[in-house]
Each structure stands twice: as structure tokens, then as C-alpha cells.
Structure 1
Amino acid sequence: MKRILPGIILLSAITACNNPQKKEMKAIKWPDAKAPIAEIIPHKRTIHGDTVVDNYYWMIDYFKKGPDSTKVVDYLKAENTYLNTMMKSTDQFQADLFKEMKGRIKEKDESVPVFRNGYFYYTRTEDGQQYFKYCRKKGSLKAAEEILLDVDKLAKGHAYYSATGFSVSPDNKLLAFGVDQVSRRQYTINVKNLETGEMLKDAITNTEGGVAWANDNKTLFYTSKNPITLLSEKIKKHTLGTDAKTDPIVYDEKDNSNYIGVMKSKNGRFIFIASQGTLTTEYRMIDADHPEAAFKVFSPRSKDVLYDILTVDDKFYIITNWNAKNFRLMQCPLDKTEKENWKEVIPNRKDVLLEYGEEFKDHLVLSERKNGLTELRVLKKDGSDYYIKFDEPVYAAGVGANPEYNSKTLRYSYTSLTTPNSVYDYDLEKKEKKLMKQQEVVGGYDPKDYVTERVFATAKDGTKIPIALVYKKGFKKNSNAPLLLYAYGSYGSSTDANFSSPRLSLLNRGFVFAIANIRGGQEMGRQWYEDGKLMKKKNTFTDFIAAGEYLVDQKYTSKGHLYAHGGSAGGLLMGAVANMAPDLWNGIIADVPFVDVINTMLDESIPLTTNEFDEWGNPKQKAAYDYMKSYSPYENVEKKAYPNMLVTTGLHDSQVQYFEPAKWVAKLRATKTDKNVLLLKTNMEFGHGGASGRFDYLKDVSLRWAFLFSLEGITK
């Protein structure tokens, strides 16, 4: 379902031959192996007078701890065995691809230091190590290094290890951080004494992983999760040295369609509790000097009103869609925060989406999106403003880590399909930028060897759909090149054109890579999102099909060489387009796909379900049920030919449970009429985001692209 970063999927790829558009190559001969056949145990679902028989409902039993739990695991293992048999001839190729992609990564590296409250903070990695060390230096980069957390050491012996939410107390003496060792995003918060090096006994389980410190350096606020649904339900307050089991609840969210969280204002004056759904926001606040105080509402929630808060010395800035489809900037006094006291600073604009802001003592930096591309706008205290603009035809830019409120320097990031990830410091007074670091591609990389362009497909209703493309020089539009088309298209998440060093292996073997900015994202404004959700969700799928047809029509590729890729909600997209236009694609990769829409949305015990009603609808309402049923991939599998497909999942996935892709694959096997390859890979140790190490994920990438290369007859 929700919250897989599209950028994770975009990292996929794999170097060698110079643009080999040699279509005399043929797909490999697959082994004559017998695919697993899942047992059929009919289960009836009746709602709104409609009865549906689900033959594979039993696969939920591992999640529900039911009687068929062992049978479920055995089936998933059988599918893994089948995949290994089918892909056996690519084992060496996968190993070579892994080595090739890993070889582009600078193993001994260091992030650009970030200054906060008297210290420079950074992470650094070492040769051969999967994780990192979190470090700081006091006052100067020439000062002695303190290793605050050695994650390489902590992760030893764990198949999965994620450390996150690093938060240093205001007096710089304590570090709070969250750890997940299972990959279900249930974090245990730990606290380390940075003066003595000891871990305090305070261990707070089943949290989101982050904290907000009060200014007394002993009180911290955190988000507690429901252990079954994994919903963020309560904000609790912990005092160091006390039993976390007795932590008082300071806020209990009653609306299970909202996500909640707690954070501290950048200037250190306030602690905020945020409750937000797809359509409503409500903040509560206290003075950070008074953690004993009761939280008061900033502005009460009201239907269809979203808002975010930026805090400066004498006022609050508010970014809101209140009477503003594409959001506007407002301000209010510190002591009069209800929306009737908000005063407009920047109005709503039909062609510009106001996304978010970053506050400084003397400046406000706003991220705006126009024609699908990001611009950074700087507001000065005197009311004047200017833009930081970028030159490439398609790119990704955004505000980076800027924790120091008193700074006059903006840290921002920039990348494109051909420009490696770059970090800039920008002097907000002098309007001068300085490149602090650009991702090093080990082994050499010349952006001039690659070409990027932006084109527009026409959707069935006449809407223009942006497509960003990248390919190696020498490419010819003669329909012969293989092309991988990627999209996400949900939750208003915008998919920007990021650089990926693993993708070079794909491009160097003759592939074109393309990103379609389909509706359901927010690239072209808030309406773009609203036209791809709820009862308009099918626009997401038809937009993607239109993009594929355009690329074929314009001879970037042909149906025999066109491939599709998406994950999570983008995996729903893959399932839908496989049903709606199966002959358009030679192959589809669906990672952790949300494909059993109705059954999941009817079961409120499944993590995230109730949070998603505003995105997909509630199938307990007949109109929503009928519409969902018309596109849900699992519901719409038919007796017809399907493309070659690789489907991935994780047994411990907390976002899209393993049984959705497993059921889908089982039903496809029993129903489809073709002899194309259908493979299911279940990672038995990880969850939604895959492996936690900085190299291990490349093994999954190697598998994905070995699958595509096999279909293209590319063997080295």
C-alpha cells in the first residue's frame, strides 16, 4: 500500500557493451521446470449482494497465525525454488552484475557535515562495511571526531538492521535513536549517554522510531504504534530513568484514517503533535520549556483542509489548501493561531503547486512545482523574493538538511537522469552557490555519454502526460531498443528524475529508461493527484498505458521490447496494466505489489488499511466497492495471455502483506493461457524496503535486471 519511496525503485539497474541494439539476439531458453501449483481452498466473500469465491484466501494464515501457516511458508519456499531453477543459467551473470554495480559505489565515503547547535554532524562509511558510523565534531571540522553510533558494529549478526531517528538532546549530551531488526517498521527507541558512552536502560518498544526532546533534556515525546494494525495511535511522554510501560499518553488519535507524529520546531521553542489524513490536518502544541503542559490545538481540523506550520521568532507561517487548490502561504501571530487569524502572504496559483517550506531566522525558502519541475523560492524579511532556478530540461531538486535556524546558508540537493546526486550550499544573502559534494561514480562516468529528454504522451481524455527519458548516445529511434518504463502514481507522491549509478548498467546494454508522471502523483499540481485517486483511479492506469503506446508509436521501442516496472502502489499499477493491456508489454516487474485491493481494504486488522480509505475508498460503501472491483488486479485475472512477469515480496512486509502478491501469482498460474514466464520471489527475512545493507539490495536489483536481460537475450 503506502509509503515506499519511488526513488528506491528507481535505483534499479546494471555496464559493458556500447549501446548494443542488436535485435538478432533471442531470449534465453528457459528450463523445463514445473511451477508450483497452489492448493485451492474456496472461501466466499459476500458484500453488497455480491459473492466472490477466493481460492487462495488461506494464504493469509501466516499473517493471522492460522492453521495453514506452515503451508503458506512451504508454498512461498516452493516458489523461491522454482525461481532459482528458472534463473539458474543467470547465476554467474547476476554475480557479475552485483560486482559491477557495487564497483561503482565509493565504499569509503562521508556525507557533507551539517551544523547544529555547536556541532558538525555527518555519517561515514568504510571499505567492505554494509552500514555506517554516525559522527560529530565540536565547533570545527578540524576538531576530534566523536563516533556517536557505530551501526556497522550494532548490525553484526542481524539479517536486517535499521537505525533511524537520530536526535540529540538540547544540551548535546544524549542521543535518542530507533532500531528495527525485523523490517516491520516497529522501532525500539534507545538512548545513549554521549559523555560516558553507556546505553541507558530506557528502551521504548513499538514506536515510529523518532523523538522530540523537551528543553529540560530529560523528557522526550514519541509516537506509539498499535502492535497489530501498526497504526500510529498515541503520542506518549517519557521521562528518562522511568519505566516506559508507565509512560503517560498525551494524545490519543480517535480517527484511524489519520497518521500522527510528534516533532520540535526548528527554533526550539515548540513541540508539535501532527495528525493528518489525506484530506485533513490538525496540529497541537506546547512550549518546549514546559513538557508538563497540556497540548492545545493550533487550528481545529476541518473537512478538506490541510495545513503545515513553519515557526519563526515572531509569527507562524502556514502552508495550506484552505480555499486554495494548489496551496497558499499564510501567517498568524504566535498567540492567535486559529485559521480565522491567518493572513495571506502568497495566494493560490493555478499553475504553481506550493509544496513545503524551510524556515530560517531571516529567510523563508519555499519549494514550488511548476510544469512538473521544482523551483526554490526565497522570501526575505523585507518582503522581497527571488528564485533559485535550474537549467536542465528535467531534473530533481529539493531542500536538504538545514537544522540550524540561525543560518544564512541553504543546503539543497540537485540531480537529474544524467547528473549524479549533488549537494550545494547556497548563500541566501549573496545568492551564490557552492558545490559541496557530488556523488562519485567509481570507475569513471561522463554525463556527455548519455542523453536525456522530456516528451508528452496524450491520455485517452486528451491530458498531456510528461515522460522523462534517458539513453546512451548512439541510440536510434528505430523500434529496436528495449525500454523500461517506470511509474508510481499514488498518494500525490511526485516521481522526479533522479540519477542512479546502477541504472548505467541498463543503459550501457542498450536499454532506454523512462519515467511517466501519471495522474495520482502531484507533479502537475494538486488536481493531478485528485484526478488519479478514489473514483478516478483508473486514470493512473490508462495514463501509463498511453505513455507506453506513445513510446512504441514514436519508435523508441516496440511491443516486443517494452517493459514496465513499479512497486507497492506502483505494483498495483503493474497489476492493472497487465490486465488492461497485456499485449503491450513483453515483461513486467511488480515489486511488493498492492494487488488484492478489496480484500485488504475490507480487513481493518491489516496494517495501514484505515489510513487508506481517503486514497482508495472504503469498499463497505457499495459505489467504492464496485469501482475497486472493476480494477483490482486480483479480482480481474482472466483466461488470456499475460506478459512475462517477475513479482517480489517480503514475508515481513508491513506495508503490503506478502499474501497479496502470493495470491495474485497463484491465481495467474491457474488462469492465464500463455506459456510466458511467471516468477515469484519472497524475501523470507525482510520487509517492504528489502535488505537494509547498502550493498545487499543490489542482489535484488541483479535478479530483476537479469530477468529483463534474459528476455532480451543479453547474457553479459
Structure 2
Amino acid sequence: MTTPDASTTNSSTTTASPTPPVAERRPHSREHHGRVFVDNYEWMRDKDAPDTRAYLEAENAYTDAMTADLKPLEDAIYDEIKSRVKETDMSVPVRAGSWWYFSRTIEGKSYAQHCRVPVAPEHAADMSDPAGWVPPEVSPGVELPGEQLLMDGNVEAEGHEYFALGAFSVSHDGRMLAWSTDTEGDERYTLRFRSLDPEVTAPTEEISGIAAGVTWSLDGEYVFYVTVDDAWRPDTVWRHRLGTPGDDDDTVFHEPDESYWIGVGETRSEKYLQIAVGSKITTEVWCLDSSDPAGEFWCVRPREEGVEYDIEHAVIGGQDRFLITHNAGAPNSTIVEAPAGPVEGDFGELRTLVPHRDDVRVEGVDAFEQFLVLVYREAALPRFSLMLLDSTSTAGTQEYGQFEPVEFEEELFTSGPGANAEWRTPVLRFGYGSFITPSRVYSLDPVTGERTLLREQEVLGGYDPARFLQRRDWATADDGTRVPISLSMSRETAARIDAGEQVPTLLYGYGSYESSMDPSFSVARLSLLERGMVYAVAHVRGGGEMGRLWYENGKTLTKRNTFTDFVACARHLIDSGLTATDRLVAEGGSAGGLLMGAVANLAPELFAGIQAVVPFVDPLTSILMPELPLTVIEWDEWGDPLHDAEVYDYMATYAPYENIEAKDYPAILAVTSLNDTRVLYVEPAKWVAKLREISTSANSTDRPVLLRCEMSAGHGGVSGRYERWRQIAFEYAWTVRTATAG
């Protein structure tokens, strides 16, 4: 089985030294396309087997023993995070109908309370008056007139080690709440209903085993929800009539193709219900008029492989129009308009509203009664612009206004539309922040351009953004591609670098699914910056920071670019004199954990340590098993090694688990969760066991390989803010020690 002891006593000394667990080798052969791979640790896949549990517990005990000396630093970082957070606080109220919705957090409580107050009577009827969109002043600990407590997450979480809220959706008339919870971490939720009006009786039925969200019909008689198949793929949309047994629910839509998943929602105007069907490269949208919730959905445009599109409903010149964002012949996407209804022919035959550009990634359009919001990405930054809809805006003609960009002064920032629940709003709520600017919430008047700051994230303890700086560097990849790196640090650290000192640095990366790692503020990260560390983000290919081709050139048969880009970023930071190999720690999670595993094999000499959170480090084994959660839909991202020998061979060249070598590796901290359904715990467990077997450094005390498995958590780690802060404090303590040990 394993050697489960976390420590033993050396016969020549009385000092106890931790001894790593040794997993039993049980050879298991995997054969595809004539290639045979012998896996000694596949037996760990049996989650309920006593041997598996014993091994994971032994790993946890070893990690505890090896990090026991970190406890003072962990406690200090935890206390710093806690001291900087305004624990008793409130969100900015958001108007929906005749109510303002907001949440409260209370010191000592892990979860939020969800509340609402009525809109002032003089503003309830007239939604066009901007004065009616000024949120009420909120103060911690002060109850507002007419305040209603809709749900207390702390009460609902009682008796559960894990708690996550999946759906929290109020009916359009404001009289009923649909909510769902997950108490295991496996992302399967139980749906319930709660009356918000004393004159309305809530239905008592419960629906279990559903995906996270729900969508109300306009009349409040129905909710639509999604269930998943055995592989955790959202595959079926259901229609539930309130007050009837869940067993009587209607199947509205089922997607049999295992490479597609589905979701249900509605347009912002609430005129159409929508079912979005998508693979990694293809989409299809179905619609139903909200006034006929028991009717049949119709297809906007049948799927065409490689074509992605989404639709937004707008009323222009008194006509119902669809604004369609698509990538047919336009890698960075373009926006066209058409009459609301099924689209005949090609998207290219429709009128273009936003043309394609090679240097701008169009991400979508949001339609309100009086204006449109274009969301796009330029120079590796998320941006947005506005277009007014007035009497000159005529559907199907050239009589449109222009999209005007909303500008900001910082070099690096994140901006975009925020919580805007109402189509008829005369103002736009948007968010803004950067690595050094705490997140802000603004209200923008599209007509005058006036911005009103509604809230800036309060950082307790006298945080001064002027003490910190951020900037953009560029590394050069092996093929000559310039790769952006975002850097943030204190000015004191910058001065040390300017004086020629090499400083401890954390380099973060992800690089998959066209996800972008945008500038964002973190209270917890201050504990690193205050200790003289640089926080760097490598915007490697496979992400979406630099447009669609940036993503395309970091997936399937070009995936190795993701790893070599990250190595190039690390070398740039070292060669520029900012840091050194004994002061550089790398971090990534999930698909970014795959990046960490690959980099550990490619260039272990560049890093003092590597932290891999819920890491996807055994991708070839997982992608070869279509019965596993989410596997088939991943083939568009990684390729299909089950049926394609070329893909198999290519993945075999970078799969971290299969490419471990007898050489020195950096110190490694792998963090996973037993109930994770996205990246199974078995991947990092096997990875750690094999590193111990093969690498020449994994069993050393100066560069140990550690595994921490949360036994009651899912893909996102532990639940509850205090528990999450504790987990971050532990990981940061490990990072600080590893980056400064040299």
C-alpha cells in the first residue's frame, strides 16, 4: 500500500525527520495506437478504496510535518488579510424592478446575507429618470427602511463542511425566490423555492442533481434549469411548473452530442428565453418568446462546425432586432444585425455593425433601451465603448451613431459593464480596477459621459496605491513571438531592482480556453508585495489576451507554445536582472496546473519552487477516458488522442505525468480537493507519487514535493471566506519561504 508515517526517528539521532509517503507500485498498462504506457499509480483512481484514502491522509500528514515551521508566517499572513478586509460590509445595491438588491457580510460570519429594500415610491413607476438609479446609502450594521432578509448563507451552511450557492434568482414580479445549494463540492445542486411576499405561498417541491443556475419565465409560473449527464456535461434543459412534482417536468431540449454542452438564460430585454448550445469551437442558439413559456424553442441558425455566435435582442427604430456576434470569416469576431427571428443564409450577408479588426478582439455587445455597449479586448486589456440609440438610429440602415470608447488613465487596468439588471436603465453600471487600484463601481451617464463613483473597495490599514506600481514587460518566445508580462510591486522593491538587486518573484500563468488573466486587485496579494516580492503574470498563448489567434496558437497541436512562452517569460525576468533562479516561484491552477507540470519538466532549473493548484497534470490519461467528467467536450481544446494517433503522440510529448525524468526538480506544492469533478484528485496524487519515484530531488528536505488534499472541497477549494483566507495564507507562506530560502 503506502508508507503512511509522516515522520520517523533516525537511529543515530533523537531528532525526528519527516519521511515522505511511498506509494505502492501496481503496474497498469494503457495501450492506444500501438503505444504502451505503464502507470504504476492508476490504482489511486478508486476514491473510496481504503488504500487511496490512507495514501492521501499520509500525504496530508507529511505536508503538515514539512510545513509546521511555516505556521507563524501563515498566521501572520492570515491576520494581515483579515485586518485589511472590511469584514462587516455591504455591496452596492443593484436595481431590479421596484427593488434594490444587495448583500451584507458580517464579521465572524463566512457567508453573505442577501437582502433587498424597495425603490422610493417617487421613482418606482418612472424608470427613465436617472435620479431613480442612485442607489440608497448603505452602512454596515445599519438596517435600511423596509429592508428584507431574503437568505442568510450562514444559516443555510450550518451543519455542512462545504457550502456553495448555485442559483439565487428572484421572479420578475419580485414575489418568489428560486435558490440552489451544493453541500459536497461536486457542483450538483438542489433547487428550492421561497416566498418573498406574505400573500404568496411558496411551493414545497425540491429538485436535486441540477446544474448551478435557473431562469424564470416572465409570468413567474415556470423555471427552466439544466441537468448534467454521468460525465458532468450539462446536456438537458427542463421546464418546471411551480407547485408540481419535479418528476412531471418537461424536457425542453436535450443535446446528445457529447462534445457539446448547454445553458439556459434570457436576453437582457427579457423578451426572449435562450438556450445556448456550444462546443469549444461551435455554437448554436435557440429562442422562445418569454410571453409563451410553454411553447417550443426555435433555432436562430443551425450549428456549423467552427462557427461561434451569440445573440442579443435590441429594439432599434421601434423594431425588434438581433445583434449577432460571430466569427465566420472573422477570427477576432464581428457584429452584424438582423430582424429578430431565424437567420436565413450566411452571417456575412447581414449588415455589419462592428467590422472585424486584426488587432481588436470583439467579445460581445450588450443592448439596453437607450444605448448599446460594445465589449472588446485591445492591447491585451479588456475595454468597452458606448453607442447611443436615439431618433437617428434606424434598424437595417446606415443611420447609426458611433461606438465611443470609455477611456482610463492607467497603463494596465480591467474595465467592463457591471451589474445592470434592467434593460430600461438610463445609466450604465460598470467596474474598474487594476493590480494596484482596488476595484471600483461606477455609474455612467451615456448621454453626458459623467461618471459617478459608487464604491471603491476599502482596504483597511492605510493602503496607499501610490506606494505601488505596475508595468508591462515583453518576453521573446523561441519562435520570435513577443509575449506580454504584467508586473506589480512596491516602489521600494522597484528601487532595489533599479539598484541591481535580484528580488523574489511569483510568476503566474494559465494559458488555456481563451481565458485572459486581466489586471485585478487582491487584498491577499499585498502580503507578498509588502514582503518585497514582485507579482508577475505571463500572458502566454492559449489565453485570450492578444486576440483569437493568440488562443488558436496555444491549443491542440500548438499547445507546446503555452509552455515555452512561460519559460521565455521566466528567462526574461532572470536575464533582465529582476530576479534569479533561486528567487523565482511559478504558480498555476487547473489548466494552469498543467502548465506548471510541463514547465517543471522543461526547465526545472529556472525555478526555486512551483505551486500547482488542482493541477491537470495527467491530461493524456484523462482525455483518453470519455466516461470521465467533461472529457469529450475537451477534445476541441486538446485534441482527440483516443481516435487520432498524431494527437496522442503530441500530447505524450508534454503530458507532465508521463515526462518526469531522473533529474532535480524545484520544490513543489500540489493542492487538490477530493470532491473536485473538473480535475480529479487522482492526477496530482499520481504526479506526486511518480515524482518521488523518479526525480533525484523529490525526497530531499530542501526541495520537497508536497501534496495537500482538501477532503471536503471541490474545484474551487474550500468554501467560506475565512477558510479560503486560511488556504491562501498557507500557500503564500510556502511561496515566501521558497522564494527567499536562497
Smaller-chain TM-score bracket: over 0.9
Could you tell me which residue of structure 1 aligns to residue 719 of structure 2?
692
Could you tell me which residue of structure 1 aligns to residue 128 of structure 2?
none
Q: How far apart, CA to CA, are the structure 2 residues paired with 1:610 and 1:108?
A: 44
Given candidates 204, 207, 210, the residue that maps to 2:210 is 207
Could you tell me which residue of structure 1 aligns to residue 129 of structure 2?
none
Could you tell me which residue of structure 1 aligns to residue 3 of structure 2?
none
Is the Cα–Cα contact under 8 Å of residues 479 and 552 in structure 1 kept in the other structure? Answer: no
Does residue 1:442 correspond to 2:449, yes or no? no
What residue identity is the alignment partner of 1:599? T
Could you tell me which residue of structure 1 aligns to residue 96 of structure 2?
116
How many angstroms does 1:480 deviate by? 2.4
Does residue 1:358 correspond to 2:358, yes or no? no
Could you tell me which residue of structure 2 aligns to residue 218 of structure 1?
221
The one-character-per-residue Cα deviations of 1:530-554 (angstroms, maximum 9, x if unpaired) are 0000000000000000000000011
How many angstroms does 1:684 deviate by? 0.4
What is the SS of the residue equivalent to 1:290? coil
What is the SS of the residue equivalent to 2:657? coil
Could you tell me which residue of structure 2 aligns to residue 45 of structure 1?
30
**Two-structure CA RMSD over aligned residues (Å):** 1.5
Is the Cα–Cα contact under 8 Å of residues 543 and 554 in structure 2 kept in the other structure? Answer: yes
Question: Which one has the largest radius of gyration?
Answer: 2
Does residue 1:320 correspond to 2:347, yes or no? no
What residue identity is the alignment partner of 1:224? T
Could you tell me which residue of structure 1 aligns to residue 253 of structure 2?
251
What residue identity is the alignment partner of 1:544? F
Does residue 1:642 correspond to 2:701, yes or no? no
TM alignment of 1:122-521, pairs within 5 A? 122-140=102-120, 141=136, 143-196=145-198, 200-226=203-229, 228-313=230-315, 314-338=320-344, 340=346, 342-381=350-389, 382=393, 383-385=400-402, 386-475=404-493, 476-477=496-497, 478-521=500-543
Give the stretch that moved more between structures: 468-477 or 532-541. 468-477
What residue identity is the alignment partner of 1:410? L
The one-character-per-residue Cα deviations of 1:257-312 (angstroms, maximum 9, x if unpaired) are 11200001211111111101111110111111112211111111001110111111
What is the SS of the residue equivalent to 1:299? coil
Q: How far apart, CA to CA, are the structure 2 residues paired with 1:146 and 1:315?
A: 38
Could you tell me which residue of structure 2 aligns to residue 626 of structure 1?
649
What is the percent sequence identity of the aligned residues?
40
Q: How far apart, CA to CA, are the structure 1 residues paired with 2:113 and 2:280?
A: 36
How many angstroms does 1:164 deviate by? 3.0
Given candidates 616, 619, 622, the residue that maps to 1:600 is 622
How many angstroms does 1:439 deviate by? 0.5
Is the Cα–Cα contact under 8 Å of residues 436 and 470 in structure 2 kept in the other structure? Answer: yes
What is the SS of the residue equivalent to 2:17? coil
How many angstroms does 1:357 deviate by? 2.1
Could you tell me which residue of structure 1 aligns to residue 549 of structure 2?
527
What is the SS of the residue equivalent to 1:200? coil
Could you tell me which residue of structure 2 aligns to residue 669 of structure 1?
692
Q: How far apart, CA to CA, are the structure 1 residues paired with 2:217 and 2:345?
A: 27
Could you tell me which residue of structure 2 aligns to residue 710 of structure 1?
737
Q: How far apart, CA to CA, are the structure 1 residues paired with 2:681 and 2:257?
A: 27
How many angstroms does 1:31 deviate by? 7.1
Q: How far apart, CA to CA, are the structure 1 residues paired with 2:716 and 2:165?
A: 14
Is the Cα–Cα contact under 8 Å of residues 484 and 512 in structure 1 kept in the other structure? Answer: yes
Q: 1:339 to 1:373 in 2, by over 3 A?
A: farther
How many angstroms does 1:711 deviate by? 2.5
Is the Cα–Cα contact under 8 Å of residues 542 and 562 in structure 2 kept in the other structure? Answer: yes
How many angstroms does 1:472 deviate by? 1.0
What is the SS of the residue equivalent to 1:634? helix
The one-character-per-residue Cα deviations of 1:485-522 (angstroms, maximum 9, x if unpaired) are 00110000010111111111101111111011110011
Q: How far apart, CA to CA, are the structure 1 residues paired with 2:739 and 2:568?
A: 23
How many angstroms does 1:479 deviate by? 4.6
The one-character-per-residue Cα deviations of 1:6-61 (angstroms, maximum 9, x if unpaired) are xxxxxxxxxxxxxxxxxxxxxxxx97311000010000011100111000000101
How many angstroms does 1:453 deviate by? 0.9
How many angstroms does 1:200 deviate by? 3.1
How many angstroms does 1:380 deviate by? 2.0
The one-character-per-residue Cα deviations of 1:428-477 (angstroms, maximum 9, x if unpaired) are 11111111101101111000111111111111111111111011112222
TM (norm. structure 2) is 0.90
What is the SS of the residue equivalent to 1:32? strand
Q: 1:401 to 1:355 in 2, by over 3 A?
A: same
What residue identity is the alignment partner of 1:665? V
Give the stretch that moved more between structures: 188-197 or 74-83. 188-197
Q: 1:387 to 1:339 in 2, by over 3 A?
A: farther
Give the stretch that moved more between structures: 330-339 or 157-166. 330-339
Give the stretch that moved more between structures: 167-176 or 91-100. 91-100
Q: How far apart, CA to CA, are the structure 1 residues paired with 2:289 and 2:382?
A: 34
What is the SS of the residue equivalent to 1:201? coil
Is the Cα–Cα contact under 8 Å of residues 23 and 55 in structure 2 kept in the other structure? Answer: yes
Is the Cα–Cα contact under 8 Å of residues 504 and 740 in structure 2 kept in the other structure? Answer: no
Q: 1:94 to 1:209 in 2, by over 3 A?
A: same
Q: How far apart, CA to CA, are the structure 2 residues paired with 1:77 and 1:284?
A: 48
Could you tell me which residue of structure 2 aligns to residue 23 of structure 1?
none
Q: How far apart, CA to CA, are the structure 2 residues paired with 1:335 and 1:681?
A: 52
Q: 1:124 to 1:297 in 2, by over 3 A?
A: same
TM alignment of 1:27-42, pairs within 5 A? 32-42=17-27
Could you tell me which residue of structure 2 aligns to residue 552 of structure 1?
574
What is the SS of the residue equivalent to 2:383? strand
How many angstroms does 1:342 deviate by? 3.1
Q: 1:113 to 1:635 in 2, by over 3 A?
A: same
What is the SS of the residue equivalent to 2:214? strand
Aligned residues: 680
The one-character-per-residue Cα deviations of 1:648-702 (angstroms, maximum 9, x if unpaired) are 0000001100000000000000111122211000000101101221221111111
Could you tell me which residue of structure 2 aligns to residue 18 of structure 1?
none
Could you tell me which residue of structure 1 aligns to residue 124 of structure 2?
none
Q: How far apart, CA to CA, are the structure 1 residues paired with 2:158 and 2:618?
A: 36
The one-character-per-residue Cα deviations of 1:192-251 (angstroms, maximum 9, x if unpaired) are 11114976322111111211111221111111112x311101001101111112312111
What is the SS of the residue equivalent to 1:474? helix
Q: How far apart, CA to CA, are the structure 1 residues paired with 2:622 and 2:728?
A: 28
Q: 1:479 to 1:52 in 2, by over 3 A?
A: farther
Q: How far apart, CA to CA, are the structure 2 residues paired with 1:198 and 1:503?
A: 47
What residue identity is the alignment partner of 1:261? G
The one-character-per-residue Cα deviations of 1:56-114 (angstroms, maximum 9, x if unpaired) are 0001011xx5xxx1110110000000001111112232122211111111011111111
What is the SS of the residue equivalent to 1:695? helix
Could you tell me which residue of structure 1 aligns to residue 631 of structure 2?
609
How many angstroms does 1:343 deviate by? 2.1
What residue identity is the alignment partner of 2:470? T
What residue identity is the alignment partner of 1:331? E
How many angstroms does 1:710 deviate by? 2.3
What is the SS of the residue equivalent to 2:205? strand
Given candidates 70, 74, 80, the residue that maps to 2:50 is 70
